[in-house]
Structure 1
Amino acid sequence: MTWDPRAVPPQDGRTAVITGGNAGIGYHVAEQLARAGAHVVLAGRSAERTRTALAALRAAVPGARASEVRLDLADLDSVHRAAGRLTATGPVDLLVNNAGVTASGKRAETAQGFELMFGTNHLGHFALTLLLVPALATDARVVSLGSLTHTRAHLDFDDLQSRSDYRSMTTYGRSKLAVLLFAGELDRRLRAIGSAVRSVAAHPGWAVQGLTPARPPLWEPGALARVRSAPLALIAQGKDRGAWPVVRAATDREALGGQYFGPFGPGSLKGPPSVRSTAESARDREAAARLWAVSEELTGVRWEG
């Protein structure tokens, strides 16, 4: 509780790759890290939106060191291309696995035929992370973005693609549970080989776009959005503050591998970033190991540690 989210430890000389850094929480993670001196790489699917985000970032943080890489987590071919580019440009000090697909009413699939949320939120990041392991700096940190929805989720290993049981919010929660299982298993594997790289996780609480400060040309809230969002300020926060737990997970020198950060407040919906607890289902080592094996098989990307 003594960690100040507005005084991020200096990040000069460090390179931070943020998936989905061209919008929402990912953008604000990038902005806060850039303000602390990091070179931020916005990894996004839309080249146009990423350029817009870079313009907003450079306006908010004059002199910011920032670049971009094209990445579509719903296409493993794109994941391989992005990993190749990132590996070629030098060590990655911070990998923030932030991007994600949210719940939608109709089941959809990735380029490789995986259910869209599971394939993007978990499998895409799983593949990207393992492909980038050789490029990680010796003291790098991998931050995975969870969600409060994981607390009500359980994995069905007979239906990971939600073919027989697709319910949008349930499937989304399962994808985020998978993310947290992966984060924990990754940290255990890193510890087992004596690596100093840390795998940590974070969640933003309830982060609402309408409570987020303007960042033109990326985001300019209208009066109606402000009015509609104002009552939520009692229990929610803007995406700039939703980024705080992620940034703490990425930069707090005292953070330990395997920890989980989120807002400190009722329901963990808003407040200063602090160490929180995941649901018991996210700490199931047997399920994590099984998910890892299945993820290797589905993506064709294997742990070389």
Structure 2
Amino acid sequence: MSSLHSPDTWDVKRLPRAEGKNFLVTGGNAGIGYFVAEQLAGTGATVILGSRDTAKAEAARVAIRAHVPGAHVRHIRLDLADLSSLKGSADALKLERLDAVVYNAGVLLDQPPRRVTEDGNELMFATNHLGHFALTWWLAPLLTATPVSRVVTTGSFTAKSESLDLDDLQSTRDYRPKRTYARSKLAQMLFGLELDRRLRAVGSTTLSVVTHPGGALDSLTPARPPVHLRTTGERLRGLPAGLLLQSKEAAAWPAVRAVLDPSVRGGQLWGPRVFGIRGLPILEPIRGDLADTELAARVWAASSGLTGLDPCSNLG
């Protein structure tokens, strides 16, 4: 029986202990990222929330500690859209080792106009992909100092049905917010897979793993005041959607497994069991554009040119 369809022994409610380990979660102050951080905090590890909003990060820290008594949680300011700020964010970690980073933060704009960062990059592409690409350069020494550390890149189910225009990665000619978002997440997933190939090529023990959360709704998500509030009416309205989608708590499971499961290997893709949309986290096949190594290498080269950095060059 293929490992893709073998019985799943991973228990999302009984995670392995991880005392003494350090995990960074970008965008850990809200949404799926919050539940990734909360679940990792329950293992006894130290969890650092990376967020551009310090007040929201502190609210998330308080909420996690209320749900996980004694949790070791702190936060740093992290603005992925500002490339010049990333060194300061990495320095603010004040760590000698980093066991895993979960690249979860993302921006989804609902409508035009197209927005750009101070660096001149389209906002979603800059935040979802370029910021994480550049942050890897600054985190590389910490990851290298930690045997079998992990980089977990959170993609999107929608990215798997999208394609990239290498001549218009930043949607200057064809800006449609949802499509631009999906393309930014596809670039991010290609980065995660290419990162593992490059790590293997230089003999690094750091693993790069790609995940996606499937489909998740706030109305199905348990309350975590003040980070997430849910009324009875919202809960009832969300029940029909529960047949197809899931809560953001469940959507965190693939990333959490990618961080903690000793059977996980670099270069893998993990997502929800049921049609890739909901359910327990399982290993998925890598198909289509995600399997295109030439495309991934070209996206890497373009990203290096836009950021002025090559993450793997800082591993020594």
TM-score category (smaller protein): over 0.9
CA drift at 1:277: 2.4
Distance 1:102 1:134 in 2: 31
Point out 4+ residue stretches in structure 1 off by more than 6 angstroms: none
Q: Tell me, yes or no, if structure 1 residue 105 matches structure 2 residue 111.
A: yes
Of residues 51, 54, 67 in structure 2, which corresponds to 1:60? 67
Secondary structure class of the residue paired with 1:105: coil
Distance 1:81 1:75 in 2: 11
Deviations 1:79-138 (A, max 9, x none): 22112222x422110100000011421111122111111111000000011211111112
| Equivalent residue number for residue 27 of structure 1 | 34
Q: Tell me, yes or no, if structure 1 residue 236 matches structure 2 residue 245.
A: yes
| Equivalent residue number for residue 196 of structure 2 | 187
Number of positions where the alignment pairs a residue of Structure 1 with one of Structure 2? 303
Of residues 207, 224, 236 in structure 2, which corresponds to 1:198? 207
Secondary structure class of the residue paired with 2:48: strand
| Equivalent residue number for residue 96 of structure 2 | 90
Q: Using structure 2 for the length normalisation, give the TM-score.
A: 0.93
Distance 1:17 1:141 in 2: 11
CA drift at 1:203: 0.8
| Equivalent residue number for residue 281 of structure 1 | 289
| Equivalent residue number for residue 4 of structure 2 | none
Deviations 1:140-164 (A, max 9, x none): 0000001111122111111111010
Distance 2:137 2:289 in 1: 23
Matches within 5 A, 1:285-296: 285-296=293-304
Distance 1:111 1:182 in 2: 23
Deviations 1:45-95 (A, max 9, x none): 101100100110000000000110000111112222112222x42211010
Q: Tell me, yes or no, if structure 1 residue 226 matches structure 2 residue 235.
A: yes
CA drift at 1:169: 1.5
Q: Does the CA contact (< 8 Å) of 2:95 and 2:142 recur in 1?
A: no
| Equivalent residue number for residue 80 of structure 2 | 73
* CA distance 1:279–1:111, shift in 2 (3 Å): farther
Q: Using structure 1 for the length normalisation, give the TM-score.
A: 0.97
Q: Does the CA contact (< 8 Å) of 2:216 and 2:251 recur in 1?
A: yes
Where structure 2 has 5 or more consecutive residues not aligned to the other structure, the ranges are: 1-7
Q: Does the CA contact (< 8 Å) of 1:76 and 1:111 recur in 2?
A: no
Identity of aligned residues (%): 49
Secondary structure class of the residue paired with 1:69: strand
Secondary structure class of the residue paired with 2:258: helix
| Equivalent residue number for residue 257 of structure 1 | 266
Q: Does the CA contact (< 8 Å) of 1:146 and 1:180 recur in 2?
A: yes
Q: Does the CA contact (< 8 Å) of 1:12 and 1:38 recur in 2?
A: yes
Secondary structure class of the residue paired with 1:30: helix
| Equivalent residue number for residue 50 of structure 1 | 57
Deviations 1:181-222 (A, max 9, x none): 101110011111111110001111111111111111211202
Amino acid paired to 2:202: I
Q: Does the CA contact (< 8 Å) of 2:32 and 2:251 recur in 1?
A: yes
Secondary structure class of the residue paired with 1:273: strand
Where structure 1 has 5 or more consecutive residues not aligned to the other structure, the ranges are: none
Amino acid paired to 2:104: N
Distance 1:278 1:72 in 2: 30
Of residues 134, 143, 155 in structure 2, which corresponds to 1:146? 155
CA drift at 1:38: 0.9
